[in-house]
Chains A and B, each alone.
Chain A
Amino acid sequence: MAKPWLPRGKVSLPQFGMTEAQRFLLLATLIGIFAGLLVVCFHITIEFIRWYAVGTLAEQTRMATVLSPAIGGLIAAGLVWFVFKKARGSGVNQAKAAVYIYDGHVPFSTVLGKFVACSISLGSGNSLGPEDPALQMGAGVASLLGRAFHLARDTMRMIAPVGAAAGIAAAFNAPITGVLFVMEEVVVGWQMGVLGSIVLAATSAVIVSRTFLGDEPLFQVPAFRIEDPKELFVHALIGIAAGLLAVVFMKTIAVLRRRLARLPAWTRYLLPGAAGIAVGVVGIWFPEVMGVGYEAVDGALHNRFPWGTLLALGLLKILVTLLCFSAGTPGGMFAPTIFAGAMIGGALGSLADQLQLFPTSPTDAYVLVGMGTFFTGVFRAPMTSVFMVFEVSRSYMIIAPVMIANTIAYLISRRLQRVPFFQMHAREEGLDLPSVEAEREMRRLRVEDAMQRPHAVFGPRTKVKTALELLREENDEHRLVKIGHGMWTWVCRNELEAAAAEGRADEPLEQVIFRDPTPRLYPDIALDSAMKRIAGHPVLPVISRANPNQLVGTLTLRDIHRAFGVDPDADPCR
């Protein structure tokens, strides 16, 4: 059931002559600004740590490359285990938990914990991303503001997704991506009311982020073009490869985390260090896989790597991310999935070019198409990934290839991995959160699924005896009466019998029934919404939206029960 997004209780924000909805939008703007500022600081802190811990690609020494991720991972994980205990776990799941379990409450210590721990782990070169922590920090800031302004419980629940959208939008520097991700992954069901606030918060956050960090897109993307329609086969192949790899990735994570959980408790404190050393060792030969890795994606977009290197980078990134994530190193998974997808796409595109089966685009075009495929395969957020690539590339031409590749990756992932990544992870954390994917695909019953064919209806001048005879003849208890243009009501057999007993059998119905017109239903409205309206009525008219006088069906409570598969007389105890 859709939750009301407006508060039922009193909101303590000053009135300023504004409606509650407008005040909520104002708060959304504040949330966006705070989240944007926080993400800017987060980004800068990661960069500073990276410069001093590892250095840029041209400055890296072997010692720093091997030791930095290990030390960073140990410190970051230590902080999460001993200082900021509530900052553990996935940001997306924590934001969802805030909506569905904790009434919008996200402890502020989570924000501080995520900020400090993830800055250290990402800055020191661990192969994870900043977007998921940014999302959780946004949700935390929003929750703090919501509490500060005494928001009612229902509104508080909606405040976390607003902050989450602001956080992720600022991290990606892409407002539409932020909004879509939250609508696809955090909020179950599309609620237009909260959408406005989410958009506003995401936009404010991106504006703040661009004010401080500049309005450069995440990647410098070359102009996209398709040389030959046959290239779509390569795009489809990228989708297949990314989808399969995503399934392997998720299944391996599940197995690895299960096995690691069985190890003695003390070993878990060492695991991030071990994963960090693995990252460092790989980083000696492939420094691109270290850290967030967007520089390498930018390099791939500029055709820096041959296909073999691209493939190696993609697979190694998946491997080191698996290790870091399974070891419990703080950080998110968005950036690594984008990295891996981009490299796999580039590798396959470049290989197609080498084979010269047909004219192909430069490798950068395939890098761009591949970017969202692994992301889709893992997170099952196809709309987000399509729009993310669109927002990054700013090219309309890319929509079709990206949709083909992403849809294939999504379908393969769905087919071969039943439980989505976030749900799998939530279960590990002991949370039972609603699946947005399941909700999105659940078939909603509508009035047309339950309504009955209309019987003959009575008019206002139909005589009581005529109506009564008909009802007796058809053994019916009630019947609809059309009382005016698009207005309907109903009459019961016992009412008519009572009127006849009073000697009013020859009177028209309009002089016997004095009842307000009944609510009208349309075939396309949700059945649960019809259920709310049927209280106090034995039958409701289902009319055409084009012609309110045209009765297309009738609906009774029994019809609704039947559609939902409920037998009201059945006793489950017997």
Chain B
Amino acid sequence: MEPDQIGLFLSRTTPRALVAAFTVMGLLFLGTGFLTRAYNRQKQERAERQYQAGEQAAAAGRYQDAIQLYTAALALKRDDERYLQALALVLVKAGRTEEAETYLRQLLRADPANGVANLMLARIYAGRGNMELAVQYYQRAIYGLWPENPLERRIETRFELIHLYEEKGELRAMEAELLRLLEEIPDDPKLKKRIGWLFLAAESYANAGKVFAEVTRSDPRDAEAFRGLGDAEFAMEHYFSARTAYARASALNPKDTRSRAQYALATEVIRLNPMLRGLGSYTRLRRSQILVERARKALDYCLPEDLETLPAQVREMLDKADRLISGKVRQRRTAEAVEENIALAEALERYRVLNCPSPAAPDRALTLVLRQLAS
């Protein structure tokens, strides 16, 4: 029958036309259904094949091939989040962040809580130096949904954010994130130590001390925790506690030379401090004289050969120190004498800091003691 005759045949009687129309419609529905099923199956198979090939290419570092394969897979199945995510990740790796961004946004439109997509966007913005958006997406990633090991991924994401803050020198924000992280982590000494070190980097010494102390309590043989505790106590100028912690750390790990050096430094600071409780008046005076002596010596490397070129005030200060060191001045064991010596040592040290070309302290123990005395 010619196609044009179909209409004529159908139009002979209306009921027949209606029945015929619905019959054809039913058949067309069935046919389209079969066709669509075959089409979708074929599409799925082809997409999966391209995706798998893309995975192999990405694993082999052939990012451009992987991008092309993932794109082809995605063109066949545009709503597949696996394909979208894989493409976005490989685009980021290939440095095509603008393109990756649009796919990530597409992923987030479908699933705003997608942890991976939020993290990738956070990294893209961090790379572009847009801290505001980077932090926003890091936070969304932290509180987002992760298909595998969610707790681990959230913790790692927060660590990444903390490192970003550290890099940007935003220490208060870093401390705040660390405190949040501390509440979230399980009882894992490794993680706690990592947090402890980051607290130290954030100059949050009290928190660092607490964290390391907690770890040492749960494992008294953890040398690293003792070293961390020592560093926290040292930074807070608690030299006795620091010395104890360093002593324990170097005992537990004899190869830990840094702890040993820090132990020695803490011991020296303690030995130099004339204001410690329980010292006799002679010892106080003697220690204060040693401070002057070491402060004068610390200046040696940057004074001119001809001292006459120096201002009169400086010459007078140096002369005073020299006379004290040579014993030409006899001091009484009074608190005033001790304070006078400390003031002289501080003045010498201040002169060194302001006028010597190298800011590095030649005598760290002296610097630490004077700082402690000043505070």
Contact = CB atoms under 8 A, between A and B. Distances in A.
Given A48-B39, A216-B78, A149 B99 contact: no
Given A58-B50, A220-B106, A41 B14 contact: no
Contacts of B3: 107-109, 111-112
B206 interface: no
Given A303-B99, A304-B99, A37 B75 contact: no
A300 to B, nearest CB: 10
B42 interface: yes
Nearest to B33: A212
A108 B14 contact: no
B183 interface: no
A88 B103 CA distance: 41
A58 B33 contact: no
B173 interface: no
Given A40-B36, A44-B35, A149-B14, A34 B25 contact: yes
A59 interface: yes
Contact of B21 (A30, A57, A143, A301): A30
Nearest to B72: A58
A356 interface: no
A377 B68 CA distance: 33
B14 A14 contact: yes
A132 interface: no
The prevalent SS among residues of B at the interface is: helix
A295 B15 CA distance: 46
A299 B106 CA distance: 13
Interface string A52-66: 000011110000000
A147 interface: yes
B351 interface: no
B90 to A, nearest CB: 13
Contacts of B35: 40-41, 44
B102 A302 contact: yes
Contacts of B232: none
Greatest chain A CB density within 10 A among B39, B68, B72, B105 is at: B39
Contact of A150 (B14, B53, B71, B79): B14
Contacts of B33: 212
A437 interface: no
A148 interface: yes
A301 B6 CA distance: 45
Interface in B65-79: 68-69, 71-72, 75-76, 78-79
Interface in B24-61: 24-25, 28-29, 31-33, 35-36, 39, 42-43, 46, 50, 53
Contacts, number: 116
B269 to A, nearest CB: 56
B11 interface: yes
Given A58-B50, A58-B72, A216-B78, A37 B29 contact: yes
A222 B21 contact: no
Contact of A58 (B6, B69, B103): B69
A57 B78 contact: no
A144 interface: yes
A48 B39 CA distance: 8
Nearest to A110: B3
Contacts of B46: 51, 56
A143 B166 CA distance: 72
A502 to B, nearest CB: 62
A14 B18 contact: yes
B106 A222 contact: yes
Interface string B328-357: 000000000000000000000000000000
A303 B29 CA distance: 39
B17 interface: yes
Contacts of B39: 44, 47-48
A33 interface: yes
B98 A303 contact: yes
B304 interface: no
Given A33-B25, A109-B3, A148-B20, A40 B106 contact: no
Interface in A101-128: 107-109, 111-112
Interface in A163-199: none
Contacts of A148: 7, 10-11, 17, 20-21
B231 interface: no
A223 B105 contact: yes
Contact of B75 (A12, A13, A298): A298
B8 interface: yes
Interface residues of B, number: 45
A362 interface: yes
A57 B7 contact: no
Interface string A4-20: 00000000111000000
A206 interface: no
A364 B31 CA distance: 38
B175 interface: no
Given A14-B18, A56-B46, A148-B17, A108 B6 contact: yes
Interface in A262-308: 295, 298-299, 301-304
Nearest to B70: A58
A340 interface: no
B14 A56 contact: no
B31 A41 contact: yes
A213 interface: yes
Contact of A13 (B14, B24, B68, B69): B14
B4 interface: yes
B98 A362 contact: yes
A145 interface: yes
Nearest to A33: B25
Contacts of B102: 222, 301-303, 362, 364
Given A57-B68, A145-B21, A222-B102, A40 B6 contact: no
Contacts of B14: 12-14, 149-150
Contacts of A56: 46, 50, 72, 75-76
B233 interface: no
Contact of A212 (B17, B21, B36): B36
B98 A212 contact: no
Q: Residue among A58, A220, A301 with the most chain B CB within 10 A?
A: A58
B101 interface: yes
B284 to A, nearest CB: 67
A41 B33 CA distance: 9
Nearest to B75: A295
Nearest to B10: A148
A364 B109 CA distance: 16
A144 B355 CA distance: 101
Interface in A329-364: 362-364
A38 B28 CA distance: 8
A108 B7 CA distance: 8
B28 A37 contact: yes
Contacts of A112: 3
Contacts of A33: 25
A251 to B, nearest CB: 34
Contact of A144 (B6, B28, B69): B6
B7 A212 contact: no
Contacts of B17: 12, 148-150
Ranked 7 nearest A-B pairs via Cβ: A58-B72, A148-B10, A147-B7, A108-B3, A12-B14, A302-B102, A56-B72
9 contacts: A40-B36, A41-B32, A57-B72, A58-B69, A107-B4, A144-B6, A212-B33, A302-B102, A362-B102
Given A13-B18, A147-B11, A362-B101, 16 more contacts: A13-B14, A14-B14, A14-B18, A40-B32, A44-B35, A57-B68, A58-B53, A108-B4, A148-B7, A148-B20, A150-B14, A213-B36, A222-B102, A298-B75, A303-B102, A364-B102
Interface of A: 12-14, 30, 33-34, 37-38, 40-41, 44, 47-48, 51, 56-59, 107-109, 111-112, 143-145, 147-150, 212-214, 216, 220, 222-223, 295, 298-299, 301-304, 362-364
